[in-house]
A = this chain, B = another copy of it.
Amino acid sequence: MNHPAAAFATQKRALPEAFVAALTACFGERFSMAGAICDAHGKDESMLDPMPPDGVVFAETTEDVQTAMLLCQQYRVPIIAYGTGSSLEGHLLALDGGISLDVSRMTRILAIHAEDLTATVEAGVTREALNAALKDTGLFFPIDPGADASLGGMSATRASGTNAVRYGTMRENVLSLKVVTADGKIVRTARRARKSSAGYDLTRIFVGSEGTLGIITEVTVRLYPQPEAISAAICNFDTTEAAVACVIQTIQLGIPVARVEFLDAACVRALNAHSHMDLRETPLLLFEFHGTPASVAEQAAQVQEIARDHGGQDFSWATAKEDRTRLWKARHKAYFAGLQMKPGTRALTTDVCVPISALAESITTTSAELRASKLPSMIVGHVGDGNYHVMLLVDPNVPADYEEAESINRRLVSRAIQMDGTCTGEHGVGLHKMQFLLEEHGEDALDLMRQLKNAFDPNNILNPGKIFPAASSA
C-alpha cells in the first residue's frame, strides 16, 4: 500500500538536456542524477511515500545556490532546498521532479559576536553544531526541534522545540537571513540590530516560507548567556488532566520556566524501552528551570507547590549535567522511541497548538479518541505553549490504518482550529497540512499568501506545490 503522496504531483517532466549539461559544467561531481542520491533526497520523516527529485546539487556557497537558481529559473525547473531531511510533513518531496538543492555541506560558522549575543552561520549548520561551536563562549542557542536539524531548515519551517516557552521560536530568534531569490539575487533581509522598524519585515517573510519564496543560505540568530544554574525535574501525575492543569496554572502565573514538557504514559513507556530510562509510567511533566541559583530554587518551589495542588508527586530531580543531558536526549528521541512501539510501522505525527485555556479540553478529548482506537499512539507536547504532538503508528500493509490515523488527525486539527488554534505549531505545512489551511485562514488570507508567492516566484519554481495546492500558486 502506498500512501497517496503521488496524488499531489502534477507535471513531472524530464530535465532539459541543456540544463543538465549546464549544471554538470558548473558543479561537476557536486551535481548528481544517481538514483540512490535522488531517492535519499525525496523523502523525509513523514509517512508519505518518497518522491525523488531528478537531480541533486550539493551547494558549498551562496554563489553555488545562486548559480543553481539562475539555471532553474532559465529552464523553469523546480528547485527544493534540502537541509537534513528531518521534515515531518513532506516538505522535501519532489512532486514535480526538479532539483534538490542540498545545503548540508554549507557548515561554516561565519561569525560569533559573543558581545552582541548573535551568531551567523551557513544554512547547513545544525543546532548541535552551533552549540558545540559556542561551547567556550558562555552562550547557547536554545531552539531545539527533536531532530538535529539545520538552521536553514529550522528557519524555513519556523521551528521551535522544548525551550520555546521561555526563549521563543525561530520567529523570534532569527535576526537576519541571507536569501537567494527566485531570480537569483542575493539579499540580506535585515541588519544585526535587536530591533528595527526600517521597512517590511523581510526576515519574517522568509522564516516559515518552506523554501517557496527563496532559498536561505545564511542565518543570523540570537544567543543567550548560559544560565548560572539549571535544574530539571520530573513530576508524575495520576491523570493527563492533572498534569495539564498544572502547566496551565504555571504559565498563567508567569513563572519563567525554561521547559515544560508533557509525556503521556505511552510515551514514557516508549522512552523507557528505547532509551533505557526508568521513569514511572504515568503521565508526567519534565521541567527545566534556568536562572541564578536562588531564582531556580524559587521557581522550582513555586511549581512544586502548584503540582502538589493538582496531585502531582514529589519532584524527582536531575541536577547533575549528565542526568539532564540523558533526560533531554531521551525526550528528543521520543519520535524514534515511539516508532519502536510496533516495529515495522510508519508514523503519522501531528502538531497542533491551541490557546492555553483550551489545552486541557484539546488533550483530553484527543486522549479519549486515541484510547478508542486500536492504533498504537502516544502524546508528547511543548505544553507551556499550548503545543502538542500525537504519534499514530500505521501498518504500511493495512489501508484501514492509514484511513483511521488520518481521520483522527483531521478531527484533532479541526478541533484545534475551532478553539482558535493552529494546524501546526512548529512542523510547518508541507504537503500534509495543506488540507487545513483554508479552514484555518480563510480564502481571503490564503489569497494574500498566494499574491506574495506570485510576486516573489512568478514562475513557481521554488518548492512548487507546497503550502498551497500547486494550481492556485501558479
Residues of A within 8 A of B (CB): 113, 115-118, 157-160, 164, 168-169, 171-172, 181, 185-202, 204-205, 207-209, 213, 224-225, 227, 248, 251-254, 291-292, 294-295, 298, 351, 353-357, 385-387, 417, 420-429, 433, 436-437, 440-442, 444-449, 451-456, 467-468
List 17 A-B residue pairs with CB atoms under 8 Å apart, sorted by A's residue number. A113-B357, A115-B356, A117-B251, A158-B195, A158-B196, A168-B172, A191-B417, A193-B353, A193-B386, A194-B387, A195-B387, A197-B429, A198-B423, A198-B424, A201-B205, A202-B449, A455-B455
Q: Flag if A448 contacts B198 (CB, 8 Å).
A: no
Q: Flag if A451 contacts B455 (CB, 8 Å).
A: yes
Q: Flag if A196 contacts B353 (CB, 8 Å).
A: yes
Please name the residue on chain B nearest to A430 by beta carbon.
B197
**Contacting residues, chain B, for A468 (C-beta < 8 A):** 199
Q: Flag if A445 contacts B172 (CB, 8 Å).
A: no
Q: Which 5 A-B pairs have the closest CB atoms?
A: A225-B254, A455-B455, A204-B204, A196-B422, A193-B353
Bound-complex Cα distance A198 to B187 (A): 24
Among candidates B198, B253, B356, residue contacting A429 with C-beta atoms closer than 8 Å: B198
Please name the residue on chain B nearest to A159 by beta carbon.
B197
Number of copies of chain A assembled together: 2
Q: Flag if A442 contacts B197 (CB, 8 Å).
A: no
**Contacting residues, chain B, for A354 (C-beta < 8 A):** 193
Q: Flag if B196 contacts A420 (CB, 8 Å).
A: no
Q: Flag if A429 contacts B205 (CB, 8 Å).
A: no
Bound-complex Cα distance A194 to B160 (A): 12
Q: Flag if B193 contacts A116 (CB, 8 Å).
A: no
User: Given the interface contacts A113-B355, A356-B115, A444-B186, does A200 sit within 8 Å of B191 by beta carbon?
Assistant: no
Q: Flag if A442 contacts B157 (CB, 8 Å).
A: no
**Contacting residues, chain B, for A292 (C-beta < 8 A):** 295, 298
Bound-complex Cα distance A467 to B337 (A): 51
Please name the residue on chain B nearest to A353 by beta carbon.
B193
Question: Closest CB of chain B to A185's CB: distance in Å?
Answer: 4
Among candidates B201, B291, B353, B356, residue contacting A204 with C-beta atoms closer than 8 Å: B201
Bound-complex Cα distance A389 to B194 (A): 15
Question: Closest CB of chain B to A71's CB: distance in Å?
Answer: 19
User: Given the interface contacts A188-B445, A196-B353, A448-B181, does A158 sit within 8 Å of B423 by beta carbon?
Assistant: no
Q: Flag if A198 contacts B441 (CB, 8 Å).
A: yes
Of the listed residues A198, A442, A452, the one surrounded by the most CB atoms of chain B closer than 10 A to its CB is A198
**Contacting residues, chain B, for A207 (C-beta < 8 A):** 201
User: Given the interface contacts A197-B208, A202-B448, A254-B225, does A188 sit within 8 Å of B429 by beta carbon?
Assistant: no
